[in-house]
Amino acid sequence: MEDDKKILEDKGFNLQGQVVFENYSGPDWTNKTMDILLQKARIMCSDEVELYFAGVDVTSVHLYNPRIELEALHTILSFLDKALCSGYHTINGILHTLRELSIKLIQELGDKIRLETIIVTNYSCDKERYLLQWGKSKGVRSKLQVAYVEGAGRGAIATEDLKVGDIALEIPVSAIISEELVHESDMFPILEKIDGISLETMMLLWSMKEKHNPDSKFKLYFDALPEVFNTGLSFGVNAIMALDGTLLLEETVQAKEHLRTQYDELFPALCNDHPGIFPTELYTWDQFLWACELWYSNGMKVMFTDGKLQTCLVPIAGFLNHSLCPHILHYGKVDSATNSLRFPLSRPCNAGEQCYLSYGKFSSSHLVTFYGFLPQGENPYDVMPLDIDATITDCSKDCCPLSSWTNHMVRGTWFSKNPGIFHYGLPPPLLYHFRRAQSPMLQANTHENLETELEILEALRSTFEDMLETLGETDLDDRSTSWDVKLAMEFKDQQRRIVSSIVTSCYYGCKLLEDELLKK
Ligand SMILES: C[S@@+](CC[C@H](N)C(=O)[O-])C[C@H]1O[C@@H](n2cnc3c(N)ncnc32)[C@H](O)[C@@H]1O
């Protein structure tokens, strides 16, 4: 993030800087102060993708990414809470007023982005209820219940109105499936002798057998797992063919090949050498793939109190679905006071509403491959990497913050607020790269360079038009087919929409430039 820091400093933002409250009087003081705090916090919470698309205009970051807005408001709230706890008594009133305003803004943001959850009523949730009861007996505290929700399997529904900071779910470490279990198992002495095998793979092999163990401590957890996962790793030939023209085709094929190689390295050898511990019928390729999908779609990174980060399966928390602007943003660190994993709310969730988690800042291609779904709403992390030789501008690294980006990408131009001349809704570092490539001595975007601009935009338009052609037309006849073809086609539609937005933006950009040139 060194480059990002540089961009911030160039904009006059000092991340380490103290917040100084000045002139706390006047009717609009609270709103103005909140604006200043938000500008800082948005930048602090921005990731490389947002900073790339914002270019030097980092203050615009929040407009298109509600998740960053939520993180920023949350950062402010934590800062105010800390300040209130540390007892700056003279300004307590001000801090409280700002705190109330942050809570109000978080509430308003939640209302704006609320997703409707349709609960499917004709599904019994017996297995899930048994698991919740088991959890309670193990010390799990939950303000969530499980229901079948349209389009996402099971989901977690708030049983009461939950406020910012409330703990929706608390799981004691003893109810988490972690490495400890594989260490204690009879497989460990065999597995630890295998060269290069990771603890994650050991856990995966352990879970394949434990799933069938009638005496397992986690039996109710395994019983409540889906029989199939329907991720991109299970795509059939037709779905893979439907991905033709997208990068996801190669990604899914490679991911599956990688897993197949891993399986072939272990089996049938382990079953032949240790049939008592690795029974052949439990270690088929299909069951291996099921376990991979389980760990990819349900595994959670957990930081334990000894500082070790492990991928774990967390019963009950595994019912939480993902959202682009979730209720639960910060989780995954075991609380040392309670020795439990807590899931606190970053935005309110009303009783009966589905409570969402963030799985991470993932692109749709990642979510399709490893989780098997496309999130609702516009995903700001849906970026297409561009294979561009960025070394042309490398020599000018220090002159302009835009030159520091070496990996270029695009996303839907609807995320940009600036379709105007010299911007065209396209990422500023990408345009900068092409400008420098065309005319290395270029100092600024001026009307002298209109011809160069036009050449760049025409070249970009032609590249993305070719890409659109490669993606082909939507085949509406295939809509009623299997889940995998449907998902692959929805993904491709989304890719088409992104590319098409870029073509349209280039087209309008060219028009703007032609009009300007006529005026000259
Ligand atoms: C950790 S599990 C969540 C619980 C899951 N729905 C279930 O029934 O077991 C992750 C899986 O839930 C589904 N999922 C999560 N978020 C989703 C969303 N926003 N839309 C559709 N499916 C989602 C995907 O199938 C994903 O692989």
User: How many other β-carbons are positioned within 10 Å of the β-carbon of residue 490?
Assistant: 17
Please check whether residue 375 lies inside any domain of the structure. no
For 210, the token pair is 């434990």
Give the number of domains in the chain.
Answer: 3
Q: What is the pLDDT of residue 201?
A: 98
Do residues 300 and 418 both lie within one domain?
A: no
CA–centroid distance, 321 to ligand 1, in Å, is 5
Q: What is the pLDDT of residue 447?
A: 65
Do residues 225 and 285 both lie within one domain?
A: yes
* Alpha helices, DSSP H, located in 11-91: 29-45, 48-54, 66-85
CA–centroid distance, 66 to ligand 1, in Å, is 21
Range(s) of the domain holding residue 438: 384-519
Residues 6+ apart with CB under 8 A from 82: none
| CA dist list (Å): 17 to 9, 44, 52, 266 | 11, 12, 23, 54
pLDDT band at 94, cuts 50/70/90? confident
- Helix (H/G/I), strand (E/B), else coil: 149: strand
Specify the residue with its C-alpha closest to ligand 1, atom 7.
154
Segment 324-330 shows an average pLDDT of 95
The closest alpha carbon to 286, from 229, 243, 239, belongs to: 229
CA–centroid distance, 153 to ligand 1, in Å, is 6
Q: What is the pLDDT of residue 478?
A: 58
Residue position matching structure tokens 């490893």: 370
Segment 486-513 shows an average pLDDT of 97
* The pLDDT of residue 369 is above 90: yes
Q: What is the pLDDT of residue 121?
A: 84
Please check whether residue 145 lies inside any domain of the structure. yes
- Residue 153 Cβ contacting ligand 1 at under 6 Å: yes
- Residue 326 Cβ contacting ligand 1 at under 6 Å: no
- Helix (H/G/I), strand (E/B), else coil: 156: strand
- Span 346-368, pLDDT tens digits: 999 999 999 999 999 999 999 99
**Nearest-10 crossing angle of helices 199-210, 247-266:** 80
For 106, the token pair is 């978080």
Q: Among 309, 343, 370, where does a domain finish?
A: 370
Do residues 438 and 366 both lie within one domain?
A: no
Q: For residue 318, give the ligand 1 atom closest to its CA.
A: 1
- Residue 360 Cβ contacting ligand 1 at under 6 Å: no
In whole angstroms, give the CA distance from residue 159 to residue 157: 6
Residues 6+ apart with CB under 8 A from 417: 60, 63, 64
- Residue 356 Cβ contacting ligand 1 at under 6 Å: no
Q: What is the pLDDT of residue 382?
A: 96
Do residues 102 and 237 both lie within one domain?
A: no
In whole angstroms, give the CA distance from residue 417 to residue 228: 42
- Residue 151 Cβ contacting ligand 1 at under 6 Å: yes
Q: Among 324, 339, 370, where does a domain finish?
A: 370
Do residues 341 and 391 both lie within one domain?
A: no
The closest alpha carbon to 177, from 231, 126, 232, 131, belongs to: 131
CA–centroid distance, 156 to ligand 1, in Å, is 10
Do residues 281 and 424 both lie within one domain?
A: no
- Residue 115 Cβ contacting ligand 1 at under 6 Å: no
Position 42: which residue type? R
Q: What is the pLDDT of residue 440?
A: 74
CA–centroid distance, 315 to ligand 1, in Å, is 14
* The pLDDT of residue 231 is above 90: yes
Q: What is the pLDDT of residue 93?
A: 86
* The pLDDT of residue 465 is above 60: yes
pLDDT band at 40, cuts 50/70/90? confident
- Span 126-144, pLDDT tens digits: 999 999 999 999 999 999 9
CATH code assigned at 360: 3.90.1410.10
* The pLDDT of residue 495 is above 60: yes
Do residues 449 and 333 both lie within one domain?
A: no
- Span 235-252, pLDDT tens digits: 999 999 999 999 999 999
- Beta strand pairing status for 356-357 and 321-322? parallel
In whole angstroms, give the CA distance from residue 353 to residue 118: 10
Do residues 453 and 414 both lie within one domain?
A: yes
The closest alpha carbon to 76, from 51, 39, 28, belongs to: 39
* The pLDDT of residue 177 is above 90: yes
- Span 98-132, pLDDT tens digits: 999 999 999 999 999 888 889 998 888 999 999 99
- Span 402-434, pLDDT tens digits: 677 889 999 999 999 889 999 999 999 999 999
In whole angstroms, give the CA distance from residue 321 to residue 371: 10
* The pLDDT of residue 17 is above 60: no
Q: What is the pLDDT of residue 47?
A: 87
CA–centroid distance, 323 to ligand 1, in Å, is 10
In whole angstroms, give the CA distance from residue 91 to residue 282: 65
Specify the residue with its C-alpha closest to ligand 1, atom 12.
321
Do residues 98 and 137 both lie within one domain?
A: no
Do residues 330 and 468 both lie within one domain?
A: no
Position 146: which residue type? V
Q: Which helix (H) or strand (E) holds 408?
A: strand 408-410
- Span 265-307, pLDDT tens digits: 999 999 999 999 999 999 999 999 999 999 999 999 999 999 9
Bridge partner residues of 386 (DSSP): 408
Distance of CA 280 to the CA centre of its chain: 37
- Residue 310 Cβ contacting ligand 1 at under 6 Å: no
Phi-psi label, residue 113: left if phi above 0, alpha if psi -120 to 50, beta otherwise? alpha
Mean of all residue pLDDT scores within the chain: 90
In whole angstroms, give the CA distance from residue 266 to residue 116: 45
Do residues 64 and 165 both lie within one domain?
A: no
Segment 308-315 shows an average pLDDT of 97
Do residues 232 and 353 both lie within one domain?
A: yes
